Homo-oligomer: A and B are copies of this chain.
Amino acid sequence: MCPVRPVRAAGDRAESGRFPRRRAGNLWPMSVLARRGDLLRLSTLFVRTLREDPADAEVDSHRLLVRAGYIRRAAPGIYTWLPLGLRVLAKVEAIVREEMDAIGGQEVHFPALLPREPYEATGRWAEYGPNLFRLQDRKRADYLLAPTHEEMFTLLVKDLYSSYKDLPLTLYQIQTKYRDEARPRAGLIRGREFVMKDSYSFDTTDAGLDAAYQRHRDAYERIFQRLGLEYVIVSAMSGAMGGSRSEEFLSPSPIGEDTFVRSAGGYAANVEAVVTPVPEPIAYDDAPAAHVENTPDTPTIDTLVALANAKHPRPDREWTAADTLKNVVLALTQPDGTRELLVIGVPGDREVDMKRVEAALAPAEAEAAGDADFARHPELVKGYIGPAVLGPQGAQVTAADGTTSSAITYLLDPRIVPGTRWITGANASGRHVFDLVAGRDFTADGTIEAAEVRAGDPAPDGSGPLELARGIEMGHIFQLGRKYAQALGLTVLDENGKQVVVTMGSYGVGVTRALAALAEAHHDERGLAWPAHVAPAHVHVVATGKGAEVFEAADALAQALAARGVEVVYDDRPKVSPGVKFADAELLGVPLLVVVGRGLADGVVEVRPRAGQARQVPVADAVAAVTEQVEALLA
């Protein structure tokens, strides 16, 4: 080894003056967004607007973000961020970061590429099924691209902390996550590579967890308010995450994938989480005995109800679909790959909602049973299935052809309480049984929240009828409890020197998805219309006309605004028509438009909010007036 001789020492560089520098005495470095003088000239900015919608765009946010040159597709569900998009993303991240810091969250950053073992320990390596991107390194060790980081945070805290005195603790990260969605769709709304803020709270007591949960809930309200997003907080299922209390923050939107309900009295829940109010049991001492009737050609509820009213009329009123019991056969696949059938009985006027089924049965995945399933189960006569050949588990049932088999698991809608009377299948083609009484004539293995929720259904808390709406899930907060800490051995010593298992919360904000939700909520037919706090710039200056004086005046105005800290997009393209420039401005969606053009001869420029009235401002007052208006927008 030769001794190392410094060739150039640090710190001796000449200040050239050509490049903006940190000002001496300014103690905090400027970030991507903290640069005074952001002046984005469209003549050089890396952006191209598109007149045509991208072929794969189904929703407005996707369509407009691509057309306006904010993002670009790299692969299905995987996007590249162009300069304008990256600016909006950075602003969204900054708001999330500030609010997480404000509740005492400490920022860390985990790898995206993680070893299998921790996810194996909690069972999620298998539970995630095909949604997990898995890979092997050159030594054939198993890795994954993390969809969420509960395991790693748990292990990190276990690694560093050992006493109750170290808690409570809240850690967070803003990080790129991966999920191999079966159907990536709607651009950023359901992507395969996306940015999330995920945070985790660690407490020794349930009360501590409640407090951490509430702090996050409050922080999330502030985040979405500052972003300029309407939101609804709904009760949610915790699903594959385990744990107990759980709520979602939804942005109401017709293109949302989540359906939620709410009542005038304040109840709100994700449709998966709606609990059906259970009616009181009905006395059935006077009920007639069950009787099987011929019901040819009635494979559907409608045909059955019509025939029942025609041939077996009910004395007091007409039969309706609600009097029938529909038994739906599903195939469940467990994370370990085992597959079994399940029958769900619901009132015939309701469909089975597969999302509610999957939420109720997670991590198993459900699908409609197929022909092969029916072939293996001759006791299941399609269209005429009845409880007599179904659970409870362990029972032996006999098919019409005389073969016997173990009963398939049978779960009922909670409305099917003892004493309710039903028309349902008699397990033979063209035959149904009438006056079959629950609790007297049949039982099942249990109940399941599987029936669709409908507008007008009563809220579980008695707060009135429900209405339904759709929303984009932007945030989700969970009380995980001790599941992960238990699985991974995270304990601390308490005041008495006893090891106690830590209780955890897990909290997520879909950062890239929130950006898409913003675009969904803030646009019109002509383009995007960003709230000022997240817009890629505050002002869009357009120079229209051919004279050099127009460009000189516009340039001076843009520079003067930038010097005052206003972020400016300046359309300085020399040979582009005013029409194209205005169309691009409306597509890009910067909140304030300033037009330097014909008015210049009269000493005025035009100032116009993205969706508002134009006003004429004297050139001499323009910088002050526009700055003031920007400050008002940001206040």
Contacts and interface: CB of A to CB of B under 8 A. Distances in A.
Nearest to A135: B135
A209 interface: no
Contacts of A6: 230, 252
A567 interface: yes
Interface residues of A, number: 121
A160 interface: yes
A124 interface: no
A253 B4 contact: yes
Contact of A13 (B48, B69, B221): B221
Contact of A229 (B1, B10, B531): B10
Interface stretch (A112-120, A270-278, A284-292, A313-321): A112-120
A164 interface: no
Interface stretch (A76-84, A235-243, A604-612): A76-84
Contact of A262 (B7, B46, B533): B7
Contact of A78 (B113, B145, B635): B113
A505 B366 CA distance: 52
B231 A4 contact: no
Contacts of A138: 130-131, 180, 182
A72 interface: yes
A473 interface: no
Which one of A4, A36, A143, A145 has the greatest number of beta carbons of chain B within 10 Å? A4
A341 to B, nearest CB: 24
Nearest to A157: B46
A176 interface: yes
A33 B32 contact: no
Interface string A221-238: 110111111111000000
Contacts of A634: 22, 24-25, 27
Interface in A90-137: 90-91, 94-95, 97-99, 101-104, 106-115, 130-131, 133-135, 137
A500 interface: no
A19 B230 contact: no
A487 interface: no
Given A29-B95, A101-B35, A135-B135, A74 B114 contact: yes
A135 B138 CA distance: 12
Interface stretch (A367-375, A464-472, A582-590): A464-472
Interface string A28-57: 111111111000000011111000000000
A254 interface: yes
A218 to B, nearest CB: 9
Interface in A563-615: 564-567
Contacts of A46: 106, 108, 160, 169, 171
A328 interface: no
B467 A631 contact: no
Nearest to A627: B27
Given A83-B107, A133-B113, A230-B9, A48 B180 contact: no
A317 to B, nearest CB: 29
A182 to B, nearest CB: 7
Contacts of A468: 1-2
Contact of A134 (B35, B135, B564): B135
Contact of A24 (B72, B90, B635): B635
Contacts of A232: 7-8
Interface in A440-469: 455, 467-469
Contacts of A630: 27
A156 B193 contact: no
B35 A34 contact: no
Contacts of A32: 31, 97, 107
A113 B147 CA distance: 13
A12 interface: yes
A28 B20 contact: no
Contact of A470 (B1, B29, B80): B1
Given A31-B34, A182-B138, A10 B227 contact: yes
Nearest to A268: B7
A27 B227 CA distance: 15
Contacts of A26: 565
B83 A108 contact: yes
A495 interface: no
Given A4-B470, A8-B231, A25-B635, 11 more contacts: A2-B468, A4-B253, A5-B252, A20-B102, A25-B634, A30-B94, A31-B94, A74-B114, A75-B113, A78-B113, A131-B138
29 contacts: A2-B468, A4-B470, A7-B230, A8-B230, A8-B232, A9-B230, A10-B225, A10-B228, A19-B102, A19-B222, A25-B634, A27-B538, A27-B564, A27-B630, A28-B565, A28-B567, A29-B33, A31-B94, A32-B97, A74-B152, A75-B114, A78-B111, A80-B152, A83-B108, A112-B193, A137-B192, A138-B182, A145-B145, A176-B176
| Pairs of residues from A and B, 10 with the lowest C-beta to C-beta distance, nearest first | A31-B31, A135-B135, A19-B102, A4-B252, A81-B109, A27-B565, A13-B225, A130-B138, A29-B94, A10-B228
